[in-house]
Amino acid sequence: MKFLLSFGITLFVLSISFSQIKENEFDTYLLNLDKARNLEKSNNFSEAIKYFDLAIKYAKKHPNFNIYGHSYMSKASVFFKLNKFKKGIKEVKKAIVAGSELEVIDYNYLFSDSISVKIKDVILPIYRELVKEKFSKMKNPEAYVEIEKMIVLDQFNRMNDGLLTSENIPVDKLQNITDSALSQQCVELVKKHGWFNEMWLIMWHNRDTYKQKNDFWNFMIPFINNQIELGMLPHSFFAMYEDYKSLEETGFTIYGTITSKVNKETINLKRAEIFLPALSEDIINSYNNK
C-alpha cells in the first residue's frame, strides 16, 4: 500500500513537472513548417501553403532572426510545382528581402535545374534592388553585416581548406583555430546585438566541445536556455547537439535529428518532450537498419 501511494505521488509530481514545460510560439512555428512540408510531400499543396503562411506569420514578428527567408522559398517551391511561376517568383523576391543572401543561395536545391535557371533569369537583373530593399527594412543592418562577414569567413575557410595553410600548420589545426576565433566573435556579437539565426552555424562548428567548460559554451548555453524560456527559441534548439554528443558516446541518438540508430521505445517520448513531431515506424526502422 505504501509502495502504491509513493508511486502515485511520484507520477503526480512528474505530471506537474512535464505540464510546466509548455509549447512556445517558436515550437509552433517549427511544427507548422513540418506540417507544411509533409502536406507538400503528399501533394496536398493548398493545405501546405496555409501552413507555410502560418509559419511566416510568426516569423514576421521576429525579422532579426532571419528565419523566414527559407519559409518563402519553400512556399515558392509549391507554386512552381503547381506551374504558377509568377506566384513562385513573388515568393522568391520576398525571400531575398526577408532572409539572408546565403539562405537564398543554399535553398536552390528546392527547385529543378530548369526552374533554377528561370529564377536566375528573372531575379539577377533586379537582385541589387531587392537587396537594397532588404537593408532599408532592417532595424539593425550593422549587426547583419557583421554576422554575414563572420559566416562568409567560416565558409571560405571550409571551402578553401588548403588555401590558407602553411607547411607548419595542418589544415585541421588551422580550422580549429579559426572556429575558436569565430566562436569568441560570435559571443561578442550576441552580447552586442542579441541572437540571429545565422549564428547557429558557428555554434554547430563548435559541437565537439558542446557542454565542456569554456568561454563559448559557458555563455551560449545559459543565453539560449533563457531565450527558450522567453519563447524566442524552440525547446528543440539543442536536440542536434545532444544527438551528436550521444552518438559519439553511445552510438545512438536521443531525438533522431541526426540519421543514425535510435532507441525505438523512447525516441518519440523524448521528441514529444521538446515538441518535435513523432517519427513514423518506417523512419525509425530505416535509422536502425543503417
Q: What does the pLDDT look like over 110-127, one tens digit per residue?
A: 677 788 888 888 988 998
Angle at 62 between CA 43 and CA 33, to 5 degrees: 15
Of the chain, the percentage scoring pLDDT greater than 90 comes to 49
pLDDT score, position 220? 97
Cell of 18: 512535464
% of residues, the chain, pLDDT over 70: 82
According to the model, what pLDDT value does residue 12 have? 37
Domains of the chain, earliest start first: 25-137 (1.25.40), 141-237 (no CATH), 240-288 (no CATH)
CA-to-CA distance for 241 and 247, rounded, in angstroms? Answer: 10
The pLDDT of residue 4 = 38
pLDDT of res. 142:
86
Nine-digit cell string for 129: 534592388
Q: How far apart are CA 189 and CA 51, in angstroms?
A: 33
Give the model's confidence band at 3: pLDDT under 50 very low, under 70 low, under 90 confident, else very high.
very low
- Residues 55-114 have pLDDT tens digits of 988 888 776 555 567 788 889 999 999 999 999 999 989 888 887 554 555 555 567 778
User: What does pTM read for this prediction?
Assistant: 0.81
Mean pLDDT of the chain: 84
- Confidence at residue 164, expressed as pLDDT on a 0 to 100 scale: 54
Res. 171: pLDDT tops 50: yes
CA distance 70 to 206: 24
* Cα–Cα distance, 112 to 76 (Å, whole number): 12
Sorted by sequence, the CB contacts under 8 Å of residue 4 that are 6+ apart come out as: none
C-alpha 97, offset from chain centre: 19
Burial class (CB in 10 A: 0-12, 13-18, 19+), 269: exposed
User: Contact 204/214 with Cβ under 8 angstroms?
Assistant: no
